[in-house]
Amino acid sequence: MADSSALKTLGPLKIQSIADTVFDELHQQILSLELPPGTKVSEAEVAKHLGVSRQPVRDAFYRLSQLGLLLIRPQRATVISKISKASVLKAKFIRTALEIACWKLVLKVITDSQTGELEDLLRQQQASIAANNQQLFHQLDDDFHRLICEIAGQDYVWTLIREQKAHMDRVRFISLTVGAAQKAYEDHIMLVEAIRGRDSARLEIVLTEHLGRVEMVLEQIRTEKPEYFEE
């Protein structure tokens, strides 16, 4: 039997790298509302703008559609999907259940060094708030929660959460423009304090309120930006 190790895979890997870059760029622009809900997009225009061929753009479009961020319709314009209230509430429920489980595991295994990593992220978050950089704070917020999943030894949980929270993220990003970043930062401080005190009950209360706040601002944002939401 021939040795399959001789097969060359450099070509496909290079193509996938370009597709990942295109996906990451479009994903960020959609979540930050640089490409707001309802915006028409085309493979040809995106490929020209980014200086790539249409194939990686097509791949990125498919992945975005799987996340519910892009609506691809045969013979009709492809558009950035409007925000679904049902998807936001579903993501909040799933994320809360999974993260509570991870945080409770962290209480049992976290080291002083790992606590230091969390506190370093808190310092970076504070600096991003002082600089009024909502996009950076949003990324650092994700980094904070992803690190918890990693410390718990459940890296895959963040992948599951990320697949569910696309609609939730757009609501979160809008809310950051009305001062919610400071409150989220204060929640993060209390969560780290609960870890240091090995206070499971306090941790669950703070985390549930922290992740549930998106539901509290949802109706306000729907009133202010009805054009962003599904009817």
For residues 146 and 98, membership in a common domain is answered with yes
> Which pLDDT does position 12 carry in this prediction?
52
For residues 128 and 63, membership in a common domain is answered with no
> Which pLDDT does position 47 carry in this prediction?
92
Domain that holds residue 142: 85-228
> Which pLDDT does position 142 carry in this prediction?
95
> Which pLDDT does position 178 carry in this prediction?
57
For residues 213 and 181, membership in a common domain is answered with yes
For residues 125 and 185, membership in a common domain is answered with yes
For residues 165 and 210, membership in a common domain is answered with yes
Question: How many domains does the structure of the chain reveal?
Answer: 2
Residue 26: C-alpha distances to residues 17, 39, 51, 225 (Å): 14, 12, 14, 21
For residues 137 and 48, membership in a common domain is answered with no
- Choosing from 80, 114, 134, the residue where a domain stops is 80
For residues 13 and 48, membership in a common domain is answered with yes
Whether the Cβ atoms of residue 192 and residue 106 lie closer than 8 Å to each other: no
- Interior CA angle at 206 toward 129 and 109, to 5°? 95
Query: Quick check: helix, strand or coil at residue 80?
Result: strand
Question: Any idea what the CATH number is for the domain that residue 55 is in?
Answer: 1.10.10.10
For residues 95 and 55, membership in a common domain is answered with no
Whether the Cβ atoms of residue 151 and residue 109 lie closer than 8 Å to each other: yes
Identity of residue 1? M
For residues 109 and 132, membership in a common domain is answered with yes
pTM given for the model: 0.84
For residues 67 and 115, membership in a common domain is answered with no
Region of 14 please: left (phi>0), alpha (psi -120 to 50) or beta.
alpha
What is the chain's pLDDT, residue by residue, as a tens digit (231 residues)? 444 444 444 455 455 588 899 999 999 999 888 999 999 999 999 999 999 999 999 999 999 999 999 999 888 889 999 999 999 999 999 999 999 999 999 999 999 999 999 999 999 999 999 999 988 999 999 999 999 999 999 999 999 999 889 899 999 888 887 578 999 999 999 999 999 999 999 999 999 999 999 988 898 899 999 999 998
Position 101 in a domain: yes
